[in-house]
Structure 1
Amino acid sequence: MYIEQLSLVNYKNLQEVDLQFSANLNCFIGNNGAGKTNLMDAIYYLSFCKSFLNSIDGLNISHGEDFFVVQGKYHRLESEENIYCGLKRNQKKHFKRNKKEYKKLAEHIGLLPLIIITPSDIDLIMGGSDERRKFLDGLIAQYDQVYLDQLLRYNRALLQRNKLLKEFAVNRYFQEESLEVWNDQLVLYAEQIHQKRVEYIQKLQPVFQQYYELISSGKEPIQLQHQSQLYDDDFSSLLKNSIAKDRALQYTSTGIHKDDILFMLGDYPIRKLGSQGQKKTYLVALKLAQFDFIKQMAGMTPILLLDDIFDKLDKNRVEQIVKLVADDHFGQIFITDTNREHLDQIITEVEADYRIFQVSDGKVSETSYEKK
């Protein structure tokens, strides 16, 4: 699967852009702030119905304008897909597939599989446990609707139980039977969610290990460790034993919503001891493992976006990533960089078709390049 054409109007600092892409490698070159990442974000938007940079849609409209339009023409399996998104300021956005508008945006997720690696991924390591749960849940839910449904039902039950705990505190009374209704629902969904998380982390680990060893030349052992209170006891008992604590806190203090994934480098968390290069290698390997996982689940090769990934990496690790990217295991790839040397290195390694685009102050133009 690949995107053949991208058209933008008033998307961030990109006033009017119409580009034809290679089905293999596409490079965006330019200074910081020129608009390279905004181009990546537009491609991401067409896969996930949202920006990876701004959670508020209106912030994606160019300053001083009243709307934006993002359109893409794709080749997916044996068919052509035309995807459109338009948003007028302070109005509902319209998302269409082949001119037919979606009733629910969730229906679109998974149609155009895509993996993006960006500098902001460092939040997976340095951020809180919610960032890592979000990563794992997004990975599973994208191709497991049952898991997504269970997760939504669990979160609704959790919301109701927390609401009840607050009501008890405000009104100064307590009725354990009322909590048990929500306890039963939480237990039902949590145990299934827990098993899926355990299963998927076990599947991800060996692929992740393989990619990390390739990039780091096999010098550093790594591991994903799933932390969950459900390893300590069954969830029903955990809820009963935490009632006094939950009443005092006025929220549910135990459950799969407290899960975490420890990113280990040797015997220690990488967030504490890892260098910037090790952390970046960790994230690239993790995302490439995610790529393989989605490729298998979707039955097609995802688009791969690599946004400014070479910064903070030593020469050897850059070379290893370039070799991976040049492999035909990956399909369509987009790369942004300010460093022409990295581009020269990639182009030299890649035998497939490629296109290079110069980005400057929101203007994008294709440029010619001859291999040395």
Structure 2
Amino acid sequence: MRIEKLLLRQFKNYREADFEFSSRLNCLLGENGSGKTNLMDAIYFLALTKSAFHSQDPFCIAHDAEYFMLDGTFAEEDRRTAVKCVVHRTQRKAIWADGKLCDKFSEHIGRFPVVLVEPADTDLIREGSEVRRKFFDGVMSQINSGYLVDLLAYNRYLSQRNALLKMAVSSGGYDDAVLGMYDEAMIDLCERLSRQRATFIGQFETVFQKHYHYLSEGREAVAISYETGLLENDFPTRFKLQHQADLQAQRTTLGLHRDDYGFTFDGVPVKKFGSQGQLKSFVLAMRLTQFELMEQLKGVKPILLLDDVFDKLDEKRVKRLLSLVENGFFGQVFISDARPDRSRQILDGLACEKRFIEVKPAS
């Protein structure tokens, strides 16, 4: 998969800008604040219908504008698809592919696979379970549209059930039958989605161990585990018996949204005992695994976005990453850097097609 060209209008700090890209390596050069990360986020948004960095779409609109537009061309071998996205402050987001309006964003997500490596990736280890669930759900959603549809349904039921619990507390009573209807729907989705999560983590861990050993020269034994109580036989009964606890908490206290993932090396938690180098190797190996599994299961290499890697990774890891770029492990790659001389020195020696793109602040 590759993106050949992209027009941005009123997207973050871009008034209007037009770019054409190399099919292999693109290095985005410019001072801090010039818009390198924003350009990567525009590619991410056009592919996945959302920003990698903002939870609300209007945050991506230029501060004094009413809308933004992204217009690009994705290509896989000789097949090209024109994709356009428009977000207004007061209207529903709209996505078109080859002129056809997308009715369900879930049908668009995964058509143009993208993997983003960015400085905040170590939050996958440092932060709470929600960040880890978001990562794995994002990977699985690009690979399996059915998983995404079920996950969206679960989140919708969860929001409605939580609203019902809060309303019951404020009104002094609740309808047990209505709550039971939500129970049945959510239990079914919990069991189905947790089985898929467990299967996927088995696949993910095998590939992950290979990449971690490559990056760290095999110094530690690493593992990723799926931590859930949803696969136990008594889960449906436990869920239904939680009504009083849920009412007291005013939220659903059991379910898919309580799952977590454990990261260890040599049997101890990476979060507690890992060095900075081990954390960086761990999360980079996770991204490489995401890339490889998406290629295996979708049959196409995702677009790879490497944001600020030269500053955030040490020389050893940069060399190992770039060797994968050079030997064709990746397809189209974007790298951002605020130091043009350094980038040219590092990348000029790579035996692959490349383009250096100057990104300048909006005037």
Unaligned runs of 5+ in 2: none
Deviations 1:276-326 (A, max 9, x none): 332222111101111111112222111100001233433222211121222
Report what 2:291 is aligned to: 291
**1:218-229 equivalence runs, <5 A:** 218-229=218-229
Q: 1:201 deviation in Å? A: 0.4
Q: Which residue pairs with 2:187 in the alignment? A: 187
CA deviation digits over 1:229-268, x for unaligned, max 9? 2355531132245444333323221222210012223322
Aligned to 2:207: 207
Separation of aligned partners in 1, 2:144 and 2:4: 28
**Is 1:275–2:280 an aligned residue pair?**
no
Contact 1:48 1:109 in 2 (8 A): yes
**Partner of 1:229: helix, strand, or coil?**
coil
Identity score, percent:
38
Match of 1:332 in 2: 332
TM-score (norm 1): 0.89
C-alpha distance in structure 1 between counterparts of 2:313 and 2:4, whole Å? 31
Matching residue of 1:31: 31
Q: In the alignment, is the contact (CA less than 8 A) between 1:326 and 1:346 conserved in 2? A: no
Tell me if structure 2 keeps the 8 A contact 1:119–1:309.
yes
SS of equivalent residue, structure 1 residue 320: helix
Q: Offset of 1:13 from its aligned partner?
A: 1.7
Q: Is the 8 A contact 1:129 1:260 kept in 2?
A: yes
Are 2:67 and 1:58 equivalent residues in the alignment? no
Question: How far apart are residue 227 of structure 1 and its match?
Answer: 0.8
Whole-Å separation in 2 of the counterparts to 1:54 and 1:174: 36
Q: Distance in 2 between matches of 1:91 and 1:174?
A: 35
Cα distance in 2 between the residues matched to 1:13 and 1:66: 14
Q: 1:367 aligns to what?
A: none
The equivalent of 1:162 in structure 2 is 162
* Residue pair 1:147, 1:193 contacting (<8 A) in 2 also: yes
Q: Which range moved further: 200-209 or 95-104?
A: 95-104
Q: What CA deviation, in whole Å up to 9, does each residue of 1:322-347 have, x standing for no partner? A: 21222212100000012443542233
CA 177–83 in structure 1, closer or farther in 2 if over 3 Å, else same: closer
C-alpha distance in structure 2 between counterparts of 1:152 and 1:91, whole Å: 21
Q: Which residue of 1 aligns with 2:253?
A: 253
Residues in 2 aligned to 1:93 and 1:150: alpha-carbon distance in whole angstroms: 22
The answer (yes or no) to whether the contact 1:87–1:94 under 8 Å persists in 2 is yes
Q: How many pairs are equivalent? A: 362
Distance 1:330 1:75 in 2: 15
Structure 1: give runs of 5+ residues left out of the alignment: 364-372
For 2:29, the aligned partner's letter is I
Could you say what the CA RMSD is over the residues aligned between the two structures, in angstroms? 2.3
Residues in 2 aligned to 1:146 and 1:35: alpha-carbon distance in whole angstroms: 35
Q: 1:205 to 1:86 in 2, by over 3 A?
A: same
Alignment of 1:1-372 (within 5 A): 1-173=1-173, 178-230=178-230, 233-339=233-339, 340-348=341-349, 350-362=350-362
Alignment-derived partner of residue 366 in structure 1: none
Letter in 2 for 1:59: F
What's the CA shift for 1:217? 1.6
